[in-house]
Chain A
Amino acid sequence: MEEFRKKVHKRVVIDSLICGNAILLYMALLFFTKGASEFGQGISIGLFCGFEIVAVYTLAKNFTALHNDDRLKEMYINENDERNLAIAKETSQKSSLITVILTALAAVAAGFFDVKICLTLVAALLLSAVVNIIVNIYFNKRM
């Protein structure tokens, strides 16, 4: 449990840095997206706001857990419960397989209408395959 407490403490520090420097991060975002299209700026600002909201939420959650042993244990159990981990693993495997199949079908369908979209989808499939191979090699060496 002490290890987990340290982990939660680290999360609180990281979240505090993200929340505390929100204005600086926002200024940096504005600087880097200067000259970008209105749509692009809107997307990046929207993502930034979402990111900050998640950071505030996790900060509050982790901070409360850090000062309440019962909540900390509950959080530990929820995060480390082997059934939850097994479900997450199965979900991730099945959903990535379904995504690959749907992307492949979409690429075939797009081939009849727009070459650019078709090539983009094929590139996404290739990227997914490369990432899969790299992650597989990593875990083969690790386990």
Chain B
Amino acid sequence: MKNRIQELRKARKVTQQELANALCVTRQTIISLENGRYNASLVLAHKAAQFFGMTIEELFIFEGDEDLKGE
């Protein structure tokens, strides 16, 4: 799942460490989220959306139905 964290973080001139501190995660988690190597949990997605003042749908881009195939 893609997200706009890096784009929004840079636009607001927030460092990865500052964002990590605000979301109570490690900087490595922010790096992994930005690189798309790790998908945030619902709680973290909510926190991130709150931090950027937008909805989860606006921050995280759900592409296609890859996670729904099993259903």
Binding site for B on A (CB under 8 A): 73, 76-78, 80-84, 86
Contacts and interface: CB of A to CB of B under 8 A. Distances in A.
A81 B24 CA distance: 7
B24 A84 contact: no
B71 to A, nearest CB: 19
Which residue, A73, A78, A81, A86, has most C-beta atoms of chain B within 10 A? A81
Contact of A77 (B26, B40, B43): B26
B8 to A, nearest CB: 20
Interface string B34-59: 00001011011000000000000000
Given A82-B41, A82-B44, A83-B38, A76 B29 contact: no
A80 B32 contact: no
Given A81-B29, A83-B32, 15 more contacts: A77-B21, A77-B26, A78-B26, A80-B24, A81-B25, A82-B25, A82-B29, A82-B40, A82-B43, A82-B44, A83-B26, A83-B29, A83-B38, A84-B26, A84-B29
Contacts of A82: 25, 29, 40-41, 43-44
20 contacts: A73-B21, A77-B21, A77-B24, A77-B25, A77-B26, A78-B26, A80-B24, A81-B24, A81-B26, A81-B29, A82-B25, A82-B29, A82-B40, A82-B43, A83-B25, A83-B26, A83-B29, A83-B32, A84-B26, A86-B38
